[in-house]
Amino acid sequence: INAEYGVANGIKSVLVGLNGILSTPACSAIIRARKLLGGIVLTASHNPGGPDGDLGIKYNGSNGGPAVESLTDKIFEKTKSITHYKIAKLPPFDLGKIGVQSHGSFSVSVVDSMTDYVPLLQSIFDFPKLKSLVSRPGFKTLYDSLNGVTGPYATKIFVELLGAPPTSTQGHIPLPDFGHGHPDPNLVYAKSLVDRMYSNEHIAFGCAWDGDGDRNMIMGDNFFVTPSDSVAIIAANAQCIPYYKNGLVAVSRSMPTSGALDRVAKKLGIPLYEVPTGWKFFGNLMDKYESEGSSSFICGEESFGTGSAHIREKDGMWATLAWLSILEAKNASVADIVHDHWKTYGRNFYSRYDYESVDADGANKMVQYLRDYAKSLKKGDTLGEYQIDFADEFEYNDPVDKSISRNQGTRFVFTDGSRFVVRLSGTGSVGATIRLYLEKYEPDNAKHHMKTEEALAPLVKVALQTLKLKEFVNIDVPTVIT
CA-based end-to-end distance of the chain: 38
Q: Catalytic: which of 45, 230, 252, 325?
A: 45
Active site residue 45: yes
What CA–CA distance (Å, rounded) separates 213 from 156?
14
Chain centroid to CA 362:
28
What CA–CA distance (Å, rounded) separates 408 from 134?
41
**DSSP H or E run through 336:** helix 334-345
Phi and psi, residue 259, nearest 5°: -80, 15
Chain centroid to CA 439:
19
- CA distances to 9, 16, 20, 95, 383 from 4, in Å: 9, 14, 16, 15, 57
Q: Which of 3, 7, 9, 11 is nearest to 84 (CA)?
A: 9
Q: What is the 3-state secondary structure (H, E, C) of 181-236?
A: CCCCCCCCCCHHHHHHHCCCCCCCEEEEECCCCCEEEEEECCEEECHHHHHHHHHH
E strand intervals along 35-140: 39-43, 56-60, 99-103, 106-111
Catalytic residues: 45
